[in-house]
Every structure is written in C-alpha cells, then in structure tokens.
C-alpha cells in the first residue's frame, strides 16, 4: 500500500461520511483545532495538554461565581 492509496481512501471515506443523510461527519461547533503540521509527536502532545488545561481552567471559572456554582 502506498501513501497515495491511503490518502485516496481516507479522502473517499471522508467524502462519503460527510455527505451521508443520517449523522453526517462534521466538525463540532466547539472543536479546538490544533495545526500539528510542523510539530514533533512530543510537541503535539505538549500543545494538546496545554490546550486541554486552558479549556478546563476556563470551564472552571465559568462554573464558579463566588461560593455559588452556576452553569
């Protein structure tokens, strides 16, 4: 199997999945995009962990108002 074959198969699958009638494949409205084009696996992991920790911190601040917890 060559890279081009795998790429064609992935693109074909994604096209079918995103155009199907029931539950088409699509990006979540609140998705966080990480461009890992020029990152090593270790850098990808570190970046993802920083992003996750930042999202958790924001979520925690939204749910805590004084001693009252709000959604």
DSSP-assigned letter for residue 38: T
Q: What is the pLDDT of residue 64?
A: 67
Question: Global pTM?
Answer: 0.57
Number of domains in the chain: 1
**pLDDT bucket at 61, cuts 50 / 70 / 90:** confident
- Three-class DSSP category at 13: helix
Domain with 61 in it: 3-69
Taking a C-beta distance cutoff of 8 angstroms, is the pair 70, 61 a contact? Answer: no
Residue whose structure tokens are 């979540």: 28
**pLDDT bucket at 66, cuts 50 / 70 / 90:** low
- Mean pLDDT value across residues 52-57: 93
């Amino acid at each position: 199997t060559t890279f081009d074959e795998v790429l064609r198969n992935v693109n074909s699958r994604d096209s079918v999945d995103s155009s199907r009638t029931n539950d088409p494949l699509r990006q979540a409205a609140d998705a966080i995009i990480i461009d890992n084009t020029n990152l090593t696996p270790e850098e990808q992991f570190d970046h993802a962990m920083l992003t996750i920790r930042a999202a958790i911190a924001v979520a925690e601040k939204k749910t805590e108002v004084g001693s009252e917890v709000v959604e």
